């Protein structure tokens, strides 16, 4: 069974993140992802970038992945100026 840590590692291997949290039950996962690579991208493009990082695992191993994606600046605004939080 795929764990939240597995999903976190899959994303981190294909996308440089300044913050990455993943929760889930083995089939359905929720991720909070902060990456410089999201700068200038629409939310749809940001999500596509995460799916690209997941690769074939998205179809083969993970039933559902919900996510919130942020640039480091937006994440800092939401968290009182904390730009780097690798939670």
Q: How far apart are CA 31 and CA 7, in angstroms?
A: 9
84 part of a folded domain: no
23 part of a folded domain: yes
Q: How confident is the model at residue 87 (pLDDT cuts 50, 70, 90)?
A: very low
Number of folded domains that form the chain: 1
Residue percentage of the chain with pLDDT more than 90: 75
**28 is in which domain, residue-wise?**
4-77
User: Is the pLDDT assigned to residue 22 strictly greater than 70?
Assistant: yes
User: Is the pLDDT assigned to residue 86 strictly greater than 70?
Assistant: no
73 part of a folded domain: yes
Determine the pLDDT at residue 82.
Answer: 59
18 part of a folded domain: yes
H-only helix segments in 15-79: 43-54, 57-60, 72-78
At 71, give phi and psi (nearest 5°).
-80, 160
Q: How far apart are CA 30 and CA 27, in angstroms?
A: 10
48 part of a folded domain: yes
């Amino acid at each position: 069974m795929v764990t939240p840590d597995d999903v976190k590692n899959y994303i981190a291997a294909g996308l440089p993140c300044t913050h990455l949290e993943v929760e889930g039950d083995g089939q359905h996962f929720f991720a909070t992802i902060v990456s410089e690579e999201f700068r200038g991208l629409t939310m749809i493009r940001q999500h596509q970038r995460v799916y690209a990082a997941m690769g074939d695992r998205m179809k083969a191993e993970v039933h559902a992945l919900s996510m919130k994606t942020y640039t480091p600046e937006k994440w800092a605004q939401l968290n009182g100026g904390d730009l780097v939080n690798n939670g």
